[in-house]
């Protein structure tokens, strides 16, 4: 073994690998799936994981179950659930407490039966629309909404990956997995307590970011829209829009071209520019100067003003010419029908760390990038220089018929001005029936969770509830790779004796205290870990330690496993602990330090409610 050659004990090597992995997770320079894969391959090379079992995690029931649940969750979105929910939620009126109760309560309920990020995706556009219609700051709604999606995941086996992982681990240790609703007695009570706290008290702890309810206010778009005319001697004459962009070496989006009083959207204009054409585009003062210097395009407002000034100075030579006003001082340009849409970049988006030009956003996806907002404010740098980050809010223009599919391909979630009818109401009942049959098969032990969920996902694809292409897109590749890679590493923590070493240390310090004190310590350790790494990774690492602790105390495994299941899903302290937290960061205008203000007291509530209930439902 490599461990013998290096001269270190296997448990020491495991801790080194895990330590480096956690540092890489926290650093965030590389995606967590790549970090997990590096940890797996490093463990194989060090002899901690057998080479023949290195990729066994990809066939692990927990991984298969998570993938199937992701497909089913996307099927719910396509089947019309979003339309039904939106129509009902939007009727709540102006009362903020009622808005919070309905939004957070709905996302909590949905998160119990579908992926919690998927549940948040359904309600996020609804929350944004509520905020804008009632002039409410979205920051008061979005963080509670994200935390509600995490609470809802606690209630069932399929609500969140940690529950699936803990159930599978219990089967490996005892031969029997947790059932679909084993988590419900504790999970439902914790979710209700968390919901009550958020609606009555917690929302007051969220920052109120003013001016974020309007797309125009966030991006200040109207101040940057200008009309440019193709003059007789303009170099732009005879160029297509793509040739114009190539000439400029810039990604300035042309929103529309007006010819003979007929306006065509930029993405739909494929001919050459002619004299007299008017281009509607988004540009600041620097871009306007570049357009005039390189291709001879000038803002119409400036040209008219110049003509007036020349007339005045020719008639009155002693009068000093008036100073030019920037084009953005002109009257606002009519943008009706230009199909601008606001979207947020997801954690698993292909756009992360890439620029517009690298993505070929216009060529490959037919989208114009108009503006980018980050941390609640518009980025002022040139569009072509921006490398996207998760949580960025984008203002895009594209074909209404294709924008939904293109945003899904890019890994973006529509937020506002969403005229996208994704639902297929006629298949809503079929989708729910398939899911219900799968749940019944699990409840009566007819099929294991992985088989039942996979069968339901397959039937949904076969009958057309979800197109096959979109089914594959629904499977979150980075999460699947993370789970599959970390499962063997977690097993190495156990087989190397590392889990026993940690457990014995905790037992030694807690030997003079009641078992419940050690359970609280396990809860806090797992919760802190889930706030800096993916919650699934936290569950995978803490499960062997929980079992070792239970064996050391010579008590039942179940309460310790339940502690890990609950605490691993309590990533309320940071925006990086869970995708739901990251998704609302940009639209809500939150800062990193905002999350603990609501997250810390909510974590205390969850701890205070869950530990007594776990001991009541799952006695030692």
Q: How many CB atoms lie within 10 A of CB 308?
A: 11
CB of 188 closer than 8 Å to CB of 613: no
What pLDDT does 318 receive?
Answer: 47
What pLDDT does 333 receive?
Answer: 47
What pLDDT does 250 receive?
Answer: 67
Q: Which residue has the tokens 């309007």?
A: 214
What pLDDT does 33 receive?
Answer: 86
| Strands of 365-423, DSSP E | 367-374, 377-378, 393-398, 412-416
What pLDDT does 86 receive?
Answer: 67
Pairing of strands 393-398, 340-345: antiparallel
Q: How far apart are CA 353 and CA 370, in angstroms?
A: 18
pLDDT digits (tens, 9 = 90+) for 282-311: 766 667 777 777 887 766 543 333 444 444
pLDDT digits (tens, 9 = 90+) for 98-126: 999 999 999 999 899 887 887 887 788 88
Closest CA to 114 of 58, 163, 71, 165: 71
Q: How far apart are CA 555 and CA 567, in angstroms?
A: 20
The pair of three-digit structure tokens given for residue 531, joined into one six-digit string: 């706030």
Pure H helices in 444-534: 449-462, 468-474, 477-495, 498-510, 515-530
CB of 415 closer than 8 Å to CB of 126: no
What pLDDT does 306 receive?
Answer: 42
Greatest pairwise CA separation for the chain in angstroms: 102
Please count the residues of the chain. 620
What pLDDT does 606 receive?
Answer: 97
Predicted TM-score of the model (pTM): 0.72
What pLDDT does 284 receive?
Answer: 63
Residue ranges, the chain, pLDDT below 70: 1-7, 80-83, 86, 209-225, 250-251, 283-286, 298-339, 375-376, 380, 382, 400-401, 416-426, 511
């Amino acid at each position: 073994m490599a461990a013998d050659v290096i001269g270190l004990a296997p448990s020491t090597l495991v801790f080194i690998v895990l330590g480096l992995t956690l540092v890489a997770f926290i650093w965030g320079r590389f995606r967590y799936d790549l970090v997990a894969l590096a940890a797996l391959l490093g463990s194989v090379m060090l002899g901690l994981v057998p080479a023949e079992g290195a990729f066994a995690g990809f066939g692990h029931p927990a991984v298969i179950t998570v993938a199937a649940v992701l497909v089913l969750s996307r099927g719910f979105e396509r089947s019309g659930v979003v339309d039904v929910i939106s129509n009902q939620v939007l009727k709540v009126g102006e009362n903020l407490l009622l808005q919070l109760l309905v939004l957070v309560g709905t996302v909590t309920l949905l998160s119990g039966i579908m992926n919690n990020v998927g549940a948040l995706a359904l309600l996020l556009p609804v929350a944004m629309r509520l905020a804008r219609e009632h002039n409410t700051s979205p920051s008061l709604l979005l963080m509670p909404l994200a935390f509600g999606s995490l609470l809802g995941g606690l209630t069932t086996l399929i609500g969140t990956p940690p529950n699936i992982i803990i159930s599978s681990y219990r089967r490996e240790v005892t031969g029997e997995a947790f059932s679909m609703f084993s988590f419900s007695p504790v999970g439902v009570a914790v979710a209700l307590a968390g919901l009550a706290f958020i609606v009555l008290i917690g929302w007051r702890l969220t920052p109120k970011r003013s001016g974020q309810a309007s797309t125009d206010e966030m991006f200040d778009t109207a101040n940057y829209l200008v009309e440019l005319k193709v003059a007789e001697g303009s170099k732009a004459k005879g160029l297509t829009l793509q040739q114009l962009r190539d000439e400029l070496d810039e990604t300035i989006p042309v929103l529309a071209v007006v010819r003979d009083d007929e306006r065509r959207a930029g993405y739909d204009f494929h001919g050459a520019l002619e004299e007299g054409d008017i281009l509607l585009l988004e540009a600041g003062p620097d871009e306007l100067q570049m357009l005039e210097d390189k291709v001879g395009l000038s803002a119409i407002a400036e040209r008219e003003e110049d003509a007036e000034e020349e007339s005045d100075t020719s008639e009155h030579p002693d009068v000093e010419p008036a100073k030019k006003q920037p084009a953005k001082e002109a009257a606002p340009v009519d943008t009706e029908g230009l199909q601008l849409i606001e979207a947020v970049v997801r954690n698993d988006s292909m756009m992360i760390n890439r620029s517009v030009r690298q993505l070929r956003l216009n060529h490959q996806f037919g989208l114009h990038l108009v503006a980018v907002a980050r941390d609640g404010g518009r980025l002022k740098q040139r569009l072509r220089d921006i490398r996207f980050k998760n949580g960025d809010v984008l203002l895009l223009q594209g074909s209404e018929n294709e924008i939904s599919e293109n945003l899904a391909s890019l890994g973006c979630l529509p937020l506002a001005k969403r005229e996208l009818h994704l639902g297929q109401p006629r298949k809503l009942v079929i989708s729910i029936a398939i899911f219900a049959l799968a749940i019944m098969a699990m409840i009566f032990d007819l099929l294991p969770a992985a088989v039942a969920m996979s069968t339901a996902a397959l039937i949904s694809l076969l009958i057309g509830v979800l197109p096959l292409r979109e089914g594959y897109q629904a499977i979150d590749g980075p999460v699947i790779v993370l789970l599959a890679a970390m499962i063997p590493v977690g097993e190495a923590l156990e087989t190397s004796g590392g889990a026993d070493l940690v457990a014995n240390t905790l037992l030694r310090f807690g030997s003079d205290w009641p078992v419940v004190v050690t359970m609280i310590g396990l809860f806090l350790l797992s919760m802190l870990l889930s706030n800096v790494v993916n919650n699934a990774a936290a569950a995978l690492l803490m499960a062997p330690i929980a079992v070792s602790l239970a064996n050391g105390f010579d008590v039942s495994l179940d309460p310790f496993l339940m502690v890990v299941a609950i605490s691993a899903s309590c990533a309320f302290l940071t925006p990086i602990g869970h995708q739901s937290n990251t998704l609302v960061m940009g639209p809500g205008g939150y800062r990193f330090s905002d999350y603990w203000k609501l997250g810390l007291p909510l974590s205390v509530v969850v701890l205070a409610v869950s530990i007594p209930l776990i001991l009541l439902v799952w006695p030692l």
